[in-house]
Structure 1
């Protein structure tokens, strides 16, 4: 695609999004009845190569036990089960690599969680990481495009509530994140838009593409000693995200590519963490 064709494509996306996005915010589509169907009695790791399966099953079993996810495991689909355990392992690895401790009561924000398909893993991590007794958590998910409608005629909001179920201390907030100085112990940014093309293709107006401002808002919202965890997909996005952190003078605590054993995506997942000085 030529530079001119690419420009016109982006322009058309932006024009469409400037019409569609305000309409979604105006109508705020919600429809009751979305629920996750229990997983059938099949091996969720059957698609894996035979040589990888024992290690994946052992890791999954350890995560379910350590984070008390037995009920969730019995009530979800094989794909959602594996994806949640993948992100639980990824985020557990991020905390361990960052060498921090968590307080007994924790306040956390997740910026841009989409339909929050991984919320069970995230809540379990906050509640049970390195503690024999469950923490009290206040987990807030901020989604700027919560009323996007999926093929099943349920909105992103509907799907998120279906994934949350009855998790205590978890709130889905249908608006973009703004700075809340010194408010959070932990802030998660899973797949923030680093490139404008991705932002436009996901249905957002170009005027809302402000990756540096969003990063600044997240950093300002951490308490002293608080941790920012960012997950990107692919090496190019990871490198661009790292450059943003460095440009803002945000010190990187840990950086790694996560092992895709539990769930394999077309692009590898990369992690960056940054700890605000205490």
Structure 2
């Protein structure tokens, strides 16, 4: 019998599926897709699929396993190699397409048959489906990946409410785009740059800063912080600690962006210019 806590429109998107794989990051959207599948289909008919590459921070990998364990669904990791593709390295506004295309191709080739999956789903919500800076959704469409949240008309607010109602560990987790999103478009994505960003962001979180981005501009690190953390980070002694932590990641200069957090900023800037 379907779980009454799953909205009917969402539960309906799982009808007719025997076994489902969910492309899973541990973020709130994919967590709700996974939890709804577990509640609708049962834990024995669902797996979480985690793509692993240098663009995935180690903390995010660990966190994804924690969330999936809480939901009660096993995690299957798949190694992806988008970083070896010239189109991905070139870092155009379609970079996410090449990343998602690589992930879904690996899932098709290595996971679907091995785990007898009837379908694969991922966590695009209804709000993201309307945004112009989501080339990854084109890859999902080409691979016939399901979008339960978008199809059910659930936007960010509704997804958060479900995650809180189900007490998911990721319910209030800030958005965590891949590390490559910190590099301006048309500047090459390299493992070294990704490692610098990961080290700097981990060090800042260790200092008590939470929702943040370290944008990579060569020798310059541009920090996007919440208003409260922006004010704290401009004041001693935290100012010196922030500077030193980011410099240890290999940056020469550290700047604070007065505009704060700007989701999808690099892609939106290119699209608006065009």
Q: Same fold (TM over 0.5)?
A: no
Structure with the higher fraction of residues in strand conformation? 1
Normalized against structure 1, the TM-score is what? 0.33
Structure with the higher fraction of residues in helix conformation? 2
